[in-house]
Structure 1
Amino acid sequence: MKIACLWLFTTSLLFATDCISYQQAAKADITSCMEYLLDPALKYQPKNLIKSKNFQKLHSKTQNLGYHNAAVWFRGSFLTDAQQTKLLVFDYPILQRVQLWLYHNSKLVDYQINGLEVPIHKRQIQNRHIVFPISLPKGKTIFLIQIQSGTAIRYKAALLNPSHFAHFTEQDNLIYGIFSGIMIIMFLYNLFLFVEIREKSYLYYSLYVLSHLLCQLSYTGYAAQYLWPFSTWWSLHSIRGLFGFLFIFALLFTREFLNLKEQRMQKWIYFMSFLAIVQLVYSLCDFSGKSAMLLSVTAALFCILLIAFGVYAYRKKEMNAKYYLVAWSFFLVSSFLMIFEVYGLLPNNLFFNHVMLIGSGIEVTLLSLALANQINILKNKEIAAKEKLLEQSKEIQKLQDEINRRLEEKVRERTAVILKQQEELENQIQMARSIQHALLPKDLPILHNAEVYYLYKPMMQIGGDFLDILVHDDKLGLFLCDVSGHGVPSALLASMVKISLMTWRYTIEDPVQTLKDIEDRMRDKLDGNFLTAQVFCIHLDNSEFSAASAGHLPFFIKRHNGGVERIKPAGGIISDYIRVSRRVMNGKLQHGDRLVCFTDGVIEARNNQGEEYGENIVCEYLDRYANEPVSVFCNQLFEKVTSANNTDPEDDIAILAMDWKG
């Protein structure tokens, strides 16, 4: 931002073609007596440029050479009739590096360096401006100035008395202090509103105001002087980097403030947000003219797009669109006036020097008033909505009694239907339970050399465990299976297994074939379930037995001599998805041996401490009741695993056992 109030012209200036005669004037613009020379390769030395004829006259009224990757040299001279101490001040605080050489009688009498690369606390004059305190001897003094900067090369400079510089500094500080105070008040005010009503537009606007203020302070050098005086890197890059945040928060605020929820509007917002992020990242990585051009293009696109958003919202009759357009119009007009003043199209005075601050202040104030007005509009809408709601509540109250009466009647009717359906369901489940029990062996076979016993208890009224006993041609067949799951589905599958055993008598001597027949008949009927099974064939005439398993638990044989054998034939489960091979296991029983098989409900039952019994409970009871009839053993084991915790079993329980007496 220009601080052109430092450079007031006076009639006491006496100009020569390349020399300014400085007597006792309080301030003097030295720009018009300077010549310039571009130095792209940095090949020139100051002492060689004192009398160089390569310099060119400055004819531009804008006092701006634009962006150059090269260093730019300026040359001029002062003529005094007595020694003077003055301040040489540049009207562009964000120049990156400015070096000054003073020559008197072809001898170097002073050298200084300044600019954003020099921290404020290391400058001779700790001020946001680029200020060189110089002592001018009597006679002619030649000055050389070299400027290297990633910003535009603006070369307007003036020579001032320290007292006048202090006066103009106080004036500038007052103006920017008022502006900063307005911006901070608007930031805190809208942030407070966001905390109170949780409306995102107030948060985005407060962040927009804060980033706007930081951009202004960074551009005018106040941020480098007061906010981050010790970071030269951030002093350089914040000038353009902060604009990325400004663009992003302006977009977010515009979206919420104008209620731009349409998909095509969102696409534009996402695109410009991406462009703002690119500009932000690039500005932090580069401080050349390229990043400046990117910032200029981005800023132009944002101005056009934000105005287009306002026009679009106004045509949609959004209530905030008028405030938005007026506020942005003030900002854009002030921006154009500042540009016209920079290019010499408008007079250089206090108003036009600070027209950008005036426009920004008006814009921020108008938008804050619009947000405040939005609260009143929302309150009025809320009051109207409450009144309408009160009227509707009276009508609703009238309907409520009628609805309650009908609802109670419906509830009574539905309750009666549910009770009837529940009764029918219980009857059907009881019938299913009777049918399932009918599928179990009705009478235990009476054999001279074997005694068979079983117990079965489903987790619910019906379950998925199933067992069967078959005596055919001096052979005793034992079958036990466990269908996955519980309740009605498992019981139905168990019933299908019973049907699959209708031809068991033909394969009683081959347990593996028996399991294969079941697998074939149950194929594509399990619907994701599976079952495990064990089949035994005991030859009653010679005490030999064969067994096969379909992924079932191991079975145990308590030998007459006291040992307990744990036997698990190889073989996988029966399911719709896999087919596995199974192998038969052969053995021989002795007089007094006891064979027992069971489902997982036995070993997964829990004791009073909540721990599973495991297979040890079977071995323990085989030892404890070895001399008792098989029925006593089964009942004691069954009582043990079903009585713990006084709770119902967590799974179906089936026990099938046989004592060999041959």
Structure 2
Amino acid sequence: MRFLWLSLWCYVWGLGLVLRAQPEPLRLQTGTGLVRVANEALLLVDTTNTLSLEDVRSPQYQRYFAPVGSKGLNFGFTKHSYWLRLDIENLSPSLTGWLLWVEYPVIDEIQYYYEAPDAYGKQRWYQLTLGDHYAFDTRPIRDRFFVIPLNFHNRAPHTFYIRFRTSSSSQFPAYISTEATYYQKRQVREIVYGIFYGIILFAACYHLFLFIGLRDLEYLYFTLAFLFFEIYLASANGHTFQYFWPHSPWLANVAIPLTAGQWVLWATIFTHHFLSLHQYRWWLRWIAYVFMALGLGISVGGLFLPYGMVVSFAASLGLVFIAWLIVAGAFVWLQGQTSALFFIGSWIAHLTGTLFFVMRNLGFLIDGFWVAHGVEIGAVLQALLLAIALSDKYSRMRLEKEILEKQNLAQQQHMTERLEQTVALRTAELQQKQRELALQNEELTQQQDQIIAQRNYISKRNQELAEINQQLQQKEIELRQSMHTAIKIQHALLPYPERSQEILDQHFIIYQPKEEVSGDFYWLHQNAEERLLLIADCTGYGVPAAMMSMLGYAIIDKVVLSMGVTNPQQILQRVDQEIGKALKQTQSGDRSTIDAAAVRLATHQSPAADGAIQVEIAVANIYVYHYEAATGRIHLIEGLDEPLGGRADQTPLPLTLQTRTVRPKDTLYLFTNGLPYRRDLDNEPIGIEVVLQILQQIAPLPIDQQPQALRQAIQQLTHNTLLEDDLLVIGWQMI
């Protein structure tokens, strides 16, 4: 008895499964309108992508077929295959004239299976394969959508199987209708698309003509962005595959990511220029650069990377990209650019349409007219608002131009009136002159002798002017000779190279006057006990500074050679006092000064174990730096920030004597302010920090290579801009 009840229960359960998997067939009658396949079909998900028709027809898999559900045939980006089973009974008067059509032109492969008698009357299954991975000619009806005639050979219920798989968003918005219903909807649909493409193309061409006329790149960027966007939508909607490359499935698939990336690229460039992002926050500009790179990457990736990966990334990027455009527009609008408000509205319209499109592709929205055409509707609104934004941006320019033209016209009219008055006045004067000429002709004979006399006088004056000009030329020659002599005298005062080599040994000197003569000089001395180096920068440049340098040179000779002062601190203090005396600065009011530094090296020192010796240094408003070869660091040798001389009182300057420990390969750098005052290409002084960076780079080089390296570094910064002051640089390397 238990076995009987168990068998009865199993029978009822199995019958329930069969009845659930086999609902009532769809009955097509004369009054049947548009039928949504998702409401009538049973669905089987093939996660392995290996099931065949024989597999899904077997009882093992028939029980897995289930109704589609409220979500519809929209699954987002997946890698699965999907099987649909349709049970249809044709009760209409005609067995033909019924179509199954799919409003999604980017499905990779659709396999349609139907059962029909062969030539011998035996029932067998036939297969029709189509998709965007196959040439357009393989479709039974030439349409950008996939249109399949339903095959009925009798009035009995027919079972159809459809398998589809795509690397794009997996969705199957399929419908069943009569041919008349389909072609009527197709006509309306294509008219709508024609209007849309026409509007976008008209906007692009209109702004292209504006670019040609105005030479404003913003119009060109607008044109390129909308042309690529239109090609992208035409590719996504299957129009380019149908009309432009029907024999190239590869190009039909590549065109979508290629044009989508180009749209992102040129839309970003347009935004960057229209909103003038370079005038605002740096992060706005850099985010724009990132989106430009991503747009280019999508275009290139569409050629080499898997289609599904590139398209899913582009779909996700689209929302982020448009959101950033709205944020950037809002930021610029808050900064006072009123045309950005139209820019924001345009991208909000585009974002709304794109949200519908992306959410449909990701499977969150059921397909419908507003969802399917949201991008097109948003694009039309965007084109209109961006055109208004460009018009608003340049309306002020046109208004200013009109005002300027009115002002020019008024000025021109005023000038014309003045010209007419002048012409009338001149005409009256000419008439008067004609009358006067009639009288003057009689006097010409009498005036001829006077004219000849005046001509002789002018000839004499010309001869005198020629003599004066010759004298001026001679004076110029004498002045040049005097300047040349002054240059030779100044160079004769400076230590000659052999003397510099004898005293300083490992060193280099860069001496470059701003004009023919210089106010910068250096002074060397050596005796049995010590070696002295002084560097000086006199007030100004040119001849006055050169005369001051000769005075300074003479004063240093007096202080060191005549007075016997060798302490650097005392040398600078005595030079300060001697300048005041020589120029009578307490009475004359003269404020000429000398920036100077003195270095003393005792020659009979006993070096330490690491070769360290002591040098004494005093500094008065000049640059002195010590490079330590062992550590690679450069130290400033600080001193007094005041120059020598230039004061009404003769109180001693508070100079200090500094003792520095130097080791072999250490280098002392002394230079005047002509080096940090050199101007770069922006007409700004390069500054002491840049000079220190250059010294840090050249200091490890051999001493004989450092001057050339220093000149090259300065050349790269200044490109031979004119000197602002005399230049003197001395590098003294310890041995």
- Which TM-score tier does this pair reach, normalised by the shorter chain? 0.5 to 0.7
**Deviation, structure 1 residue 334:** 2.9
User: Partners in 2 of 1:101 and 1:172 — Cα distance?
Assistant: 28
**Deviation, structure 1 residue 367:** 0.7
**Deviation, structure 1 residue 288:** 4.5
Structure-2 change in CA distance of 1:331 and 1:427 (3 Å): closer
1:103-502 equivalent positions in 2, closer than 5 A: 103=115, 107-138=123-154, 139-261=156-278, 262=280, 263-337=282-356, 350=369, 353-383=372-402, 422-425=476-479
Contact 1:100 1:146 in 2 (8 A): yes
Contact 1:320 1:370 in 2 (8 A): yes
**Deviation, structure 1 residue 315:** 1.1
User: Partners in 2 of 1:417 and 1:164 — Cα distance?
Assistant: 108
Secondary structure of the residue aligned to 1:110 is strand
Aligned to 2:107: 95
**Deviation, structure 1 residue 339:** 6.0
Contact 1:257 1:320 in 2 (8 A): no
User: Partners in 2 of 1:310 and 1:234 — Cα distance?
Assistant: 35
Structure-2 change in CA distance of 1:315 and 1:390 (3 Å): farther
Contact 1:276 1:298 in 2 (8 A): no
**Deviation, structure 1 residue 47:** 2.4
Structure-2 change in CA distance of 1:423 and 1:131 (3 Å): same
Q: Deviations over 1:502-528 (max 9, x none)?
A: xxxxxxxxxxxxxxxxxxxxxxxxxxx
Q: Deviations over 1:274-304 (max 9, x none)?
A: 1222222222323443223211221122012
Structure 2: give runs of 5+ residues left out of the alignment. Answer: 1-20, 413-468, 487-703, 706-735
Q: Deviations over 1:431-454 (max 9, x none)?
A: 99xxxxxxxxxxxxxxxxxxxxxx
Contact 2:342 2:386 in 1 (8 A): yes
**Deviation, structure 1 residue 416:** 12
1:558-577 equivalent positions in 2, closer than 5 A: none
User: Partners in 1 of 2:377 and 2:171 — Cα distance?
Assistant: 23
Aligned partner (choices 78, 86, 99) of residue 98 of structure 2: 86
Structure-2 change in CA distance of 1:62 and 1:301 (3 Å): same
What one-letter code is carried by the residue in structure 2 that aligns with 1:40? Answer: T
How many residues align structurally? 401
User: Partners in 2 of 1:285 and 1:57 — Cα distance?
Assistant: 38
Secondary structure of the residue aligned to 2:99 is strand
Higher relative contact order (CA 8 A, sep 6+): 1
Contact 1:29 1:159 in 2 (8 A): yes
What one-letter code is carried by the residue in structure 2 that aligns with 1:235? Answer: A
Structure-2 change in CA distance of 1:424 and 1:124 (3 Å): same
User: Partners in 1 of 2:237 and 2:192 — Cα distance?
Assistant: 12
Secondary structure of the residue aligned to 2:74 is coil
Structure-2 change in CA distance of 1:421 and 1:163 (3 Å): farther
Q: Deviations over 1:37-87 (max 9, x none)?
A: 232333222023224223233114243022222322211211123633421
**Deviation, structure 1 residue 108:** 3.3
Aligned to 1:457: none
User: Partners in 2 of 1:48 and 1:430 — Cα distance?
Assistant: 107
Aligned partner (choices 66, 80, 83) of residue 76 of structure 2: 66
**Deviation, structure 1 residue 385:** 6.0
User: Partners in 2 of 1:94 and 1:345 — Cα distance?
Assistant: 18
**Deviation, structure 1 residue 159:** 1.5
Contact 1:18 1:33 in 2 (8 A): no
Aligned to 1:46: 53
Structure-2 change in CA distance of 1:349 and 1:418 (3 Å): farther
Aligned partner (choices 21, 26, 39) of residue 20 of structure 1: 26
Contact 1:88 1:157 in 2 (8 A): yes
What one-letter code is carried by the residue in structure 1 that aligns with 2:298? Answer: Q
User: Partners in 2 of 1:136 and 1:63 — Cα distance?
Assistant: 25
Q: Deviations over 1:464-497 (max 9, x none)?
A: xxxxxxxxxxxxxxxxxxxxxxxxxxxxxxxxxx
Secondary structure of the residue aligned to 2:157 is strand
User: Partners in 1 of 2:269 and 2:205 — Cα distance?
Assistant: 18
**Deviation, structure 1 residue 326:** 1.3
Contact 1:50 1:142 in 2 (8 A): no
What one-letter code is carried by the residue in structure 2 that aligns with 1:249? Answer: W
Contact 1:282 1:291 in 2 (8 A): yes
User: Partners in 2 of 1:241 and 1:158 — Cα distance?
Assistant: 31
Aligned partner (choices 28, 32, 40) of residue 33 of structure 1: 40
Structure-2 change in CA distance of 1:356 and 1:416 (3 Å): farther
**Deviation, structure 1 residue 321:** 0.5
What one-letter code is carried by the residue in structure 2 that aligns with 1:127? Answer: D
User: Partners in 1 of 2:472 and 2:332 — Cα distance?
Assistant: 57
- Which is helix-richer, 1 or 2? 2
User: Partners in 1 of 2:224 and 2:108 — Cα distance?
Assistant: 28
Secondary structure of the residue aligned to 1:196 is helix
Question: RMSD of the alignment, in Å?
Answer: 3.6
What one-letter code is carried by the residue in structure 2 that aligns with 1:117? Answer: H
What one-letter code is carried by the residue in structure 1 that aligns with 2:477? Answer: E
User: Partners in 1 of 2:139 and 2:54 — Cα distance?
Assistant: 25
- The reply on whether 1:77 has 2:122 as its aligned counterpart is no
Contact 1:23 1:80 in 2 (8 A): yes
User: Partners in 2 of 1:234 and 1:278 — Cα distance?
Assistant: 18
User: Partners in 1 of 2:325 and 2:472 — Cα distance?
Assistant: 64
What one-letter code is carried by the residue in structure 2 that aligns with 1:378? Answer: M
**Deviation, structure 1 residue 102:** 0.8
Contact 1:121 1:229 in 2 (8 A): yes
What one-letter code is carried by the residue in structure 1 that aligns with 2:144? Answer: R
**Deviation, structure 1 residue 205:** 0.2
User: Partners in 1 of 2:474 and 2:35 — Cα distance?
Assistant: 108
**Which protein is bigger by CA-based radius of gyration?**
1
Contact 1:330 1:359 in 2 (8 A): yes
TM-score (norm 1): 0.55
User: Partners in 2 of 1:272 and 1:338 — Cα distance?
Assistant: 21
Contact 2:33 2:177 in 1 (8 A): yes
